[in-house]
Amino acid sequence: MTGQLSPIDKAKFVAAKKAVDYVEDGMRVGLGTGSTAAWMVRCLGELVREDGLKIRGVPTSTRTAELAREVGIEVISLDEAKWLDLTIDGADEFDGELNLIKGGGGALLQEKIVATASDQMIVIADAAKEVGHLGAFPLPVEVIPFGWQTSRALIEEMLISVDVLGRDVTLRMNGDHPYVTDEGNHILDLHLGRIGNARQLAMVLNQIPGVVENGLFVDICDVVVIGHGDGRVVLRDINEGTVEQDRLDFVESDNLFKDMMD
């Protein structure tokens, strides 16, 4: 089965497989959203079914919750968990200080709440997600539907005074209709090219009326696990200042790879 995977999917898989080594019996684990996080959920499900791992998972979206239940992970709410030992999630971009852009999958609000309610956040990504400066990936900003065009105009005005290359702001669509998040909100995608000061931009965005949250994750990620298509993984710990390398062999598993979506 793994022989049919593209190099990018192999990279996502090995990053996810390595990251679940951080999960211990009895933990409350935040379960991220997106293609790389889906590999992680399936890896955890395999450990639950075959090794008897006992964990409780707090998903960051309805689709992650559905997948977690499907693979046998006990799902609870964040209110039930109150606090988490660990969150594992993907990222659309990360820089050298492990600041992130997230929200390409539309779940940035729940992802940020869950990540900040955790003792540790681990990001899993393929090597292409690492950038010198954040901003090439459009920055998602979740806004309430009421007055969203006013919120967009205020964001566009604000962008004039901050250190970014571009200022195009588009409403994310789902076919002919605006994309709707799990919370019933819309997403504005900011095409910035390059973000000079992510911390400043995150703070200013959240002061704009109508903005619920933005996809800049600053000082939240502790470890990034970077996968490569040849099975290599690099673990970068921002708190310890360490970089470790490993290599994982691909293991055939019809259960793990069945019905895997991009």
**201 and 108 together in one domain:** no
Q: Please tell me which residue in 93, 111, 142, 213 is annotated as part of the active site.
A: 111
Alpha-carbon torsion (254, 257, 261, 262), positive or negative: negative
Q: Judge whether 199 lies within some domain.
A: yes
Q: Judge whether 86 lies within some domain.
A: yes
**124 and 31 together in one domain:** yes
**152 and 188 together in one domain:** yes
Q: Which of 220, 218, 223 is nearest to 244 (CA)?
A: 223
Cβ of 182: how many Cβ atoms within 10 Å? 15
Report the SS3 class of residue 86: strand
**100 and 189 together in one domain:** no
Q: Residue 261 has what pLDDT?
A: 43
Which CATH number does the domain housing residue 208 bear? 3.30.70.260
52 by Cβ neighbours in 10 Å (0-12 / 13-18 / 19+) ranks as exposed
What is the domain range of residue 150? 139-213
Q: Residue 3 has what pLDDT?
A: 55
Q: Which two tokens stand for residue 18?
A: 């390595």
12-26 as b/e, with b when 16 or more CB fall inside 10 Å?
A: bbbbbbbbbebbeee
Q: Residue 4 has what pLDDT?
A: 80
Q: Is 244 a catalytic residue?
A: no
Binding site members: 33-36, 89-92, 102-105, 129
**182 and 235 together in one domain:** no
> Which residues, including other chains, have CB under 8 Å from residue 203's CB and lie 6 or more apart?
none
> Across the strands, what pairs with 171?
188
Q: Judge whether 260 lies within some domain.
A: no
Q: Judge whether 7 lies within some domain.
A: yes
Ramachandran class of 60: left when φ > 0, alpha when ψ lies in -120 to 50, beta otherwise: alpha
Q: Residue 245 has what pLDDT?
A: 97
Distance of CA 74 to the CA centre of its chain: 21
Binding site members for substrate: 33-36, 89-92, 102-105, 129
Q: Which of 195, 143, 209 is nearest to 171 (CA)?
A: 143
74 by Cβ neighbours in 10 Å (0-12 / 13-18 / 19+) ranks as exposed
Structural domains of the chain, count: 2
Q: How many residues does the chain have?
A: 262
**119 and 227 together in one domain:** yes
Q: Judge whether 262 lies within some domain.
A: no
Report d(CA 196, CA 245) in Å as an integer. 30
**143 and 111 together in one domain:** no
Which CATH number does the domain housing residue 61 bear? 3.40.50.1360
Q: Judge whether 261 lies within some domain.
A: no
In the chain (262 residues long), the average pLDDT of successive 10-residue segments reads 78 97 98 97 98 98 98 98 98 98 98 98 97 98 98 98 97 98 98 98 98 98 97 97 91 52 41
The DSSP string of 7-66 is: HHHHHHHHHHHHHGGG--TT-EEEE--SHHHHHHHHHHHHHHHHH----EEEESSHHHHH
**19 and 57 together in one domain:** yes
**90 and 17 together in one domain:** yes
CA dihedral 205, 199, 163, 96 (to 10 degrees): -140
Q: Residue 255 has what pLDDT?
A: 53
Report d(CA 156, CA 228) in Å as an integer. 37
> Which residues, including other chains, have CB under 8 Å from residue 179's CB and lie 6 or more apart?
106, 171, 172, 173, 186, 187
